[in-house]
Amino acid sequence: MSTEGLAELKRFLVERYDQLKGQLTRRLGSSDLAGDALHDTWVRLAGKSEIEPVRQPQAFLLNAATNIAVDRLRVEARMLSESQVDDLFEVEDPAAGPAEALEARFELAALVGAMERLLPARQREILFAVRLEGLSRDELAERYGISVRMVARELQAAHEFCVRQMRR
């Protein structure tokens, strides 16, 4: 290891900065990105104490700066822009607030009460078995000793009852 290689790279970067920046700008498509990448290359070189001599300093510096620029672009691609962050703050919360949740509980309690008072027992039991227990119509037909078609009718009647009650 020697300090000569490091000194040579630094000197080359300073002396040919404009040429390197031009080549890097064409390679990256952005003069600002090229300048930032060359600056970061200088900073990385300044952080080293020694380095082996490089045969082609121009190619070495261009490749180093290109890699730095690509890394920077990858990081920036993962970040949201300021306008994207602002848009996130303006999205309405789809969750119900406390007032809506309380109102929904009251509506549910009223529906369950109406079902217990007004809905025939078999219709209520079939509705609960399908919706809460996940039983199939075949299983319910066997349980109640009725046809699958009759289970479907009872379930349909229970659904219609619920719709009427919710409209009230």
> Does residue 64 carry a pLDDT above 80?
yes
With a CB cutoff of 8 Å and minimum separation 6, the contacts of 155 are: 123, 126, 127, 130, 137
Considering the entire predicted model, what is its pTM? 0.47
Domains of the chain: 3-82 (1.10.1740), 113-167 (1.10.10.10)
Condensed to tens digits (0 to 9), the pLDDT of residues 129-146 reads 998 899 999 999 999 999
With a CB cutoff of 8 Å and minimum separation 6, the contacts of 166 are: 107, 111
> Does residue 31 carry a pLDDT above 50?
yes
Cα separations in angstroms, 125 against 118, 119, 154, 163: 13, 10, 10, 17
Q: How many CB atoms lie within 10 A of CB 78?
A: 6
pLDDT for the residue numbered 1: 45
Average pLDDT over the chain, rounded to an integer: 86
